[in-house]
Amino acid sequence: MGIQDQKQTIVEHLSELRKRLIYSLVFLIGFSILSYRFSEFVVKDMISKAPDIEFVFIAPNELFMSYLKIAIVGGIACSLPVIIFNIWLFIKPGLEVHEKKLIVRSLFMGGILFFLGALFSYLIVLPLVINFFISFQIDEVEAMISFSNYLSFVITVVLSFGLVFELPIFMTIIVKLGLVSTRTLRKNRRFAILIIFILSAILTPPDVISQILLAIPMLLLFEVGIFFSQIIENNKSNNKK
């Protein structure tokens, strides 16, 4: 390949990258605007998860900024499939057939697990954690909780659980790539449990209940990851035979 051909190839890649970025940005902005229209509904639904708390805003623009944050998070969540699809179209030509299959399956299952983790945290974990905090309320101390702080708390919990539910996918990918074996995972289960509790402490707000509620699903997901990793190893062994 000559220098002129190399330059042309680089220009084509940059042009393709720019096109994919523009498409992704357009969908991100569009879904963010659409999400803003539902911000009030989302705010009311979040408040319903903590019926015993009277929220306040302590700055003139705080509630508006909260609406805006909800719109951006909603825009990212809704446009993420489109963004991932555009990334896939950009990298697809340079992948082998088995790599394409692995990435497609991983993205599909990863998306489902992330959604389940986020839904589990929002519908089940969040009300439990809020009720736990409210149980410490006393008459001598009046609660004045900023909605902005509450929103940040909710986003942290939901994203933490969504990311944690990706654990089986991560485990199966590293086993599929031969970076680690299921035997190694089982042998180091004690260290995995320790790491899980450390991650729970880092990812969740600084309270024991949130950490435990995150650690327990992580432990179960770790065992699920070992189970699916073993299936992948068995399939690899059978294919070699």
Residues of the chain with pLDDT under 70: 1-8, 95, 99, 137, 203-207, 236-241
How many angstroms separate the CA atoms of 195 and 199, rounded?
A: 6
Q: What 3-state DSSP class applies to 137?
A: coil
Cα 9 vs. chain centroid, distance in angstroms?
35
Tokens 């839904």 sit on residue = 119
How many angstroms separate the CA atoms of 182 and 227, rounded?
A: 9
Q: What is the 3-state secondary structure (H, E, C) of 37-83?
A: HCHHHHHHHHHHCCCCCCEECCCCCHHHHHHHHHHHHHHHHHHHHHH
Residue 240: its pLDDT value, please? 59
Estimate the crossing angle of helix 62-91 against helix 97-120, to 10 degrees. 160
Residue 191: its pLDDT value, please? 84
Residue 30: its pLDDT value, please? 93
Spell out the residues 6+ positions from residue 175 whose beta carbon is closer than 8 angstroms to its own: 181, 182, 185, 229, 232, 233
Residue 68: its pLDDT value, please? 92
Residue 165: its pLDDT value, please? 85
Residue 28: its pLDDT value, please? 92
Two structure tokens written together for 52 = 């015993």
Spell out the residues 6+ positions from residue 218 whose beta carbon is closer than 8 angstroms to its own: 164, 167, 196, 199, 200
- Given CA atoms 113, 119, 122, 123 in this order, what sign does their dihedral have? negative
Percent of the chain having pLDDT more than 70?
A: 88
Residue 67: its pLDDT value, please? 92
Residue 4: its pLDDT value, please? 45
Tens-digit pLDDT profile for residues 15-49: 888 888 898 899 999 999 999 999 999 889 988 88
pTM for the full predicted model: 0.75
Residue ranges of alpha helices (H) inside 121-207 are 126-134, 147-164, 167-176, 182-187, 189-203
